Amino acid sequence: MILDLFKTGVYFAECNLDLEPIKEFCTQYSYNHTSRELSNEGGYQSPDIDLKEYNVLAPLYSKIHFEVNVFANGMGLNDQNLDNAWININGYRDINVMHCHPGSALSGVFYVNVPEDGGNIVFECPGSEVKDFAWYNQVDHENWNHYNSMHWTLPARNNTLYLFPSFLKHRVEPNNNQNLKRISISFNTK
């Protein structure tokens, strides 16, 4: 019998929000606010925004707040509040490099606009460096699973919300669509 001693959960919710006004807001916001460079290589990353401050984002804020606390309570964490949020707009070949979000409990991303070949989110197994060193040549690479994988890729899709522990390293693949941009809103909780 295998005992699962330590687990790292990633939560997802399919949302039913009207994406057009959110997409328009994100695009307009990027025209009026300078991009910052944190995990992004290329593309636009806004300064922190307060989702409660904008009426167009109120339904998204409510959805995030609800789902975050379902996830937090399911993992035995205290109720969480949104700490900060920002907009990501990635054009052709723009990426977000492997990173985590120190100082927060949970982090998340909501996908506003994902074109075909827009790039997925990839999570890295905690301790993957040790696992890779010890097991890389011992694993049948055609049969990756929850026990032996170093990375896990989840699809970026419109109206999808992913939540994860802030310590979990992650990256976003390149947007390989030459004509359309990938738009998302990311956030942290405490």
- Is the C-alpha dihedral spanning 12, 165, 62, 116 positive or negative? negative
User: What is the reported pLDDT for 141?
Assistant: 63
Percent with pLDDT over 90 in the chain: 82
| pLDDT at 12 > cutoff 90 | yes
User: What's the CA gap between 163 and 172, in Å, rounded?
Assistant: 14
pLDDT digits (tens, 9 = 90+) for 99-129: 999 999 999 999 999 999 999 999 998 876 6
pLDDT digits (tens, 9 = 90+) for 94-107: 999 999 999 999 99
User: What is the reported pLDDT for 133?
Assistant: 56
Tell me how far CA of residue 65 lies from CA of 48, 108, 134, 136, 172, in angstroms: 17, 11, 40, 39, 23
Note the CATH architecture for domain 11-122+155-189. Answer: Sandwich (2.60)
| pTM for the structure as a whole | 0.93
